[in-house]
Structures are given as structure tokens and as C-alpha cells.
Amino acid sequence: MTATTVSPLDLTALRGRFPALSRTIAGQPAAYLDGPGGSQVPAEVIDAIGDYLRGSNANLGGPFATSEESDAIYDAARAAAADFTGSAPDEIAFGANMTTLNFQLAHAVARTLRAGDEIVVTELDHDGNVAPWLRVAADHGLVVRTAPLAAGDATLDLDALEALLGERTRVVAFTLASNAVGSKPDARRIAAAAHRVGALAWADAVHYAPHGRIDRAALGLDVVLCSPYKFFGPHLGLAAIRRDLAETWPADRVRPADETPAGHRFETGTQSHEALAGFVAAVGYLASLGDGATRSDRLDSAYARIAAHEEALSVQALQGLAAIDGVQLYGITDAARVAERTPTFAFTVAGHTPRDAAAELGRQGIFVWDGNYYALNAITALGLESRGGAVRAGFLHYTTPGEVERLCEAVAALR
Ligand SMILES: Cc1ncc(COP(=O)(O)O)c(C=O)c1O
């Protein structure tokens, strides 16, 4: 199935499942174009969280009903995360958010490295996949090398990245999609290059996850991290870690150390069981947008539909924003290349600071971000960090063409 031949999403029906989407601001419908910062959630996710807290709230491992139900939710969450990431249930670790998990996992792998070993990070990444490596490099005497953006279209320069790899490279930490400019690097190529020198391919899928299907094994990723609150679930982080790595990396454990399943070794203390219940419902919601015999099949089909819808929104936004005098758009601007980006647009508006432009749009009920969104390397490389960054409008599958039109008209009116 390709993105151009799939049956379309039923936008009216799916939007009806999201209570937040009926909110108004100053008499206008709210347009949630802040998706890269966090998505809205369907009613079934809210219900699952409430139902857990109302009826099953307990700690794990007890011989009574609520604890057994909590155990079952934990198992269901691992199974859902496995299907969602193309991994096995025992390769999953849950945590507070991606950043916390990534610091923890970076500390773990760094304990297995020697001074002088090298980590490659990128200018395209959110700092959640850069700062942990700078931290452990300082602690363990490692060397961090940074792969640059390509000149012009804010994509990652893969030739330059490959040129940084060598016999001391141990980890290549990169993003599946930029939360600032939307660029999606060729993950297979990066993973293959990492493996050629014996390094780990370590991917941040936080921004990518609401837009594209993650298949850790097929992409050849050793570690992949994402955050369900970006894909219609609750505030939560998850990592999928290749089993042999999860089994052997040193982990901070309380005694007696229960080390199965392997990913569990990187979960400290009691998890948010209500969030796990909400996460299972979020994956169920996504799967309900597709067809197929298994949940994985339905996710494949759902993401093909999501991609088709989002690519059409991207073309509309690129054409609409390009037509506004004084708007400078960063990232891929060629409408023929929308498959290489997510529908996330960073732009500046002449005569307005990004904060002022975002605040004016916010007053009209159009929610957009401004600043660097912790994509510090990218915003600095684009020369925007000292100028307040850029406005960022991000679409999700529930965004309508009407909302994109409203955005373009409101930005044009700023001029
Ligand atoms: C690409 C990317 N990576 C990492 C993060 C950090 O995720 P979390 O908030 O779960 O720590 C974000 C959050 O915006 C992000 O967009």
C-alpha cells in the first residue's frame, strides 16, 4: 500500500473522538497546531486512565483482584509497545519521558565504554538525544562528534555523518524526524553505517511517532525511544532496546534484582500504571484507523492513511506559506518532497518576533510554538537562536485543511 492509493481517513468521525477538539477560544474553534509539543487524546484514552484509577488502582504482584488487573495492564502495555515499535515485549522499558530514559540508558552504555571511544550526535536532534551524550562523555572521557545539517534545506548531511564514523565510534545517536523542521533522515542508511563500524544505532522517534510507523528491527535500530504523549496517549516515555543489550548493560536496580523481562531492568520504582492503561488505549485508537488481521497490520494500514492525509496538508501549507511575502520557511520547501518531512513547519515572519507572532496567533485560537523547542543544535545552526528561534506550526492526522487555511490567512494578516 502506498500513501497515494490508500482510502482516506474519516476526519469528522475521528475528530469526534477527541473532546479537546471542540474547544473554542474567543469564539473561534481552537486549532491545535502545537502537536510537536504534545498531542490531544481521544476519549478512550481518558476513559482508560479514569477506569484504571477508579477500579484497578494497585501495585504489582499481589494476590488480589486490583493487583492482578494492574499486572495485566503492565503486560498489555508491553505487548502494545512491542507492536508499536516493531520489537518484542521483553525489549520494552517504560519511564517518565524520553529524556529521563535516554539519560539512564546513556549512563548504562557509557559504563561499558573506554576513554577515547566516540559518540556521534547530530545537529538535527532535540537535545534529549544530545545532552545525555555530552553528560556521559564528560563523565567517562568519551569524544562527541556532531554531524551537521546540509546547507539549504535543513536536512541531515549523511555524507558528513558517515565521514565522522570510525573504529572508535560506539554509538550513533540520531533522530527519525526533526521536531523543529520536520526533516526525516534515511534511518536505514544511518543504521547500516553505524553497524559497519560496530557502533549502535540509537534513534529518537519522539517526533516521528505520530507521523510514521516505527519498525525497529526492519530499520536495524538497536535502541529507539518515543513518548506516547506525542501520539495521542498520556505523558509517558518508552524505549525499545535490543534484547541482548537490555540483558547485559549495567542497570541501577534495587534488591532483590528481578531482571526479567530484560527491559524491566531500566525501569526504576513504580511506574504510572494509569498512564500505561492510557497508552494501551492510544495504540488501540491508532490501530482503529487502519484495517488488517492483527494490531500490527492495522497500525501499518493506519499509518499509510495518516501519511496520505498529512502529505496533502504539507503541500497545502508549503504553497500557502510560500505565497506570503516576508515569511521565511526553514526545512524542505519543495512540495514534491513532502514524503521526506513531517508536517511540521518552522518559519519567521518579517517584522515580528517569533514570540509575538505566536502570541497573536494564540489570541485567535491558533496554538503554535515559538523558540527552539529544545532543538538547540538545529535552531543554532540555522542562525535563529539569537533571534528568538522560529514559529513552529505542526499538524497531526486530526488537523483539517480548513485549519491549515486559517493558519496561512492569519500569518498573512500579520504582515
Ligand atoms: C524529537 C524529540 N525528542 C525528544 C523529546 C523529549 O521528549 P520527552 O518530553 O518525552 O522527554 C522531544 C520533546 O519534544 C522531541 O520532540
- Mean pLDDT for 223-245 is 98
For residue 311, tell me if it sits in a domain: yes
* Domain shared by 280 and 329, yes or no: no
Report how far residue 52's alpha carbon sits from residue 278's, in angstroms, rounded to the nearest whole number: 9
Ligand 1, from 174, 179, 238: best to mutate by most atoms within 8 Å of Cβ?
Answer: 179
* Cβ within 8 Å of residue 97, ≥6 positions away: 227, 229, 235, 236, 237
For residue 368, tell me if it sits in a domain: yes
* Domain shared by 368 and 244, yes or no: no
Domain limits at 15?
11-32+294-414
pLDDT over 70 for what percent of the chain? 99
- Mean pLDDT for 194-217 is 97
* Any atom of ligand 1 within 6 Å of the Cβ of 237: yes
* Cβ within 8 Å of residue 108, ≥6 positions away: 249, 250, 251, 266
* Any atom of ligand 1 within 6 Å of the Cβ of 184: no
For residue 4, tell me if it sits in a domain: no
Distance 206 CA to ligand 1 centre (A): 5
Distance 136 CA to ligand 1 centre (A): 19
**Using 50, 70 and 90 to split pLDDT, how confident is the model at 2?**
very low
pLDDT over 90 for what percent of the chain? 95
Report how far residue 7's alpha carbon sits from residue 272's, in angstroms, rounded to the nearest whole number: 36
* Domain shared by 92 and 17, yes or no: no
* Burial letters 235-270, b for 16+ CB under 10 A, else e: ebbbbbbbeebbbebebeeeeeeeeebbbbbbbeee
Which of 269, 286, 303 delimits the end of a domain? 286
* Domain shared by 237 and 384, yes or no: no
Q: 128-167 pLDDT, tens per residue? A: 999 999 999 999 999 999 999 998 999 999 999 999 999 9
Distance 53 CA to ligand 1 centre (A): 27
- Mean pLDDT for 189-206 is 98
Q: Please state the pTM of the whole predicted model.
A: 0.98
Distance 34 CA to ligand 1 centre (A): 13
For residue 212, tell me if it sits in a domain: yes
Q: Is the pLDDT of residue 182 over 50?
A: yes
**Using 50, 70 and 90 to split pLDDT, how confident is the model at 259?**
low
* Domain shared by 22 and 73, yes or no: no
CATH number at residue 23: 3.90.1150.10
Within 13 Å and on the Cβ side, how many CA atoms surround 325?
A: 1
* Domain shared by 15 and 70, yes or no: no
Which one, of 24, 3, 7, 54, lies nearest residue 289 by Cα? Answer: 7
* Domain shared by 309 and 202, yes or no: no
* Domain shared by 365 and 230, yes or no: no
* Any atom of ligand 1 within 6 Å of the Cβ of 207: yes
For residue 143, tell me if it sits in a domain: yes
Distance 36 CA to ligand 1 centre (A): 9
Q: 14-62 pLDDT, tens per residue? A: 999 999 999 999 999 999 999 999 999 999 999 999 999 999 999 999 9
The three state secondary structure string of the chain is CCCCCCCCCCHHHHHCCCHHHHCEECCEECEECEHHHCCCCCHHHHHHHHHHHHHHCCCCCCCCHHHHHHHHHHHHHHHHHHHHHCCCHHHEEEECCHHHHHHHHHHHHHCCCCCCCEEEEECCCCHHHCHHHHHHHHHHCCEEEEECECCCCCCECHHHHHHHCCCCEEEEEEECCCCCCCECCCHHHHHHHHHHCCCEEEEECCCCCCCCCCCHHHHCCCEEEECHHHCCCCCCEEEEECHHHHHHCCCCCCCCCCCCCHHHHHCCCCCCHHHHHHHHHHHHHHHHCCCCCCHHHHHHHHHHHHHHHHHHHHHHHHHHHHCCCCEEEECCCCHHHHHHECCEEEEEECCCCHHHHHHHHHHCCEECEEECCCCHHHHHHCCCHHHCEEEEEECCCCCCHHHHHHHHHHHHHHC
- Mean pLDDT for 88-110 is 98
Q: 276-312 pLDDT, tens per residue? A: 999 999 999 999 999 999 999 999 999 999 999 999 9
- Could you tell me the three cell numbers for 249? 548493560
Distance 396 CA to ligand 1 centre (A): 16
Protein residue whose Cα sits closest to atom 14 of ligand 1: 37
- Could you tell me the three cell numbers for 171? 554509538
Which of 258, 286, 314 delimits the end of a domain? 286
For residue 5, tell me if it sits in a domain: no
* Domain shared by 133 and 238, yes or no: yes
Q: What is the mean pLDDT of the chain?
A: 97
The minimum-distance atom of ligand 1 relative to the CA of 229 is 10
Which of 243, 263, 286 delimits the end of a domain? 286
* Domain shared by 86 and 173, yes or no: yes
The minimum-distance atom of ligand 1 relative to the CA of 175 is 1
- Mean pLDDT for 317-327 is 97
For residue 54, tell me if it sits in a domain: yes
* Any atom of ligand 1 within 6 Å of the Cβ of 34: no
* Domain shared by 222 and 128, yes or no: yes
Distance 68 CA to ligand 1 centre (A): 32
Which pLDDT score, from 0 to 100, does residue 247 have? Answer: 95
* Burial letters 169-191, b for 16+ CB under 10 A, else e: bbbbbbbbbbbbbbbbbebeebb
For residue 2, tell me if it sits in a domain: no
The minimum-distance atom of ligand 1 relative to the CA of 102 is 11
Distance 364 CA to ligand 1 centre (A): 27
Question: Count of domains in the chain?
Answer: 2
Q: How far apart are the first and last CA of the chain?
A: 42
Q: Is the pLDDT of residue 3 over 50?
A: no
The minimum-distance atom of ligand 1 relative to the CA of 227 is 10
* Any atom of ligand 1 within 6 Å of the Cβ of 204: yes
Which pLDDT score, from 0 to 100, does residue 11 have? Answer: 98
Which pLDDT score, from 0 to 100, does residue 1 have? Answer: 40
* Domain shared by 251 and 327, yes or no: no
Q: Which of 94-103, 251-260, 353-362, 396-405 has the lowest mean pLDDT?
A: 251-260
Distance 255 CA to ligand 1 centre (A): 31
Which pLDDT score, from 0 to 100, does residue 255 have? Answer: 84
CATH number at residue 145: 3.40.640.10
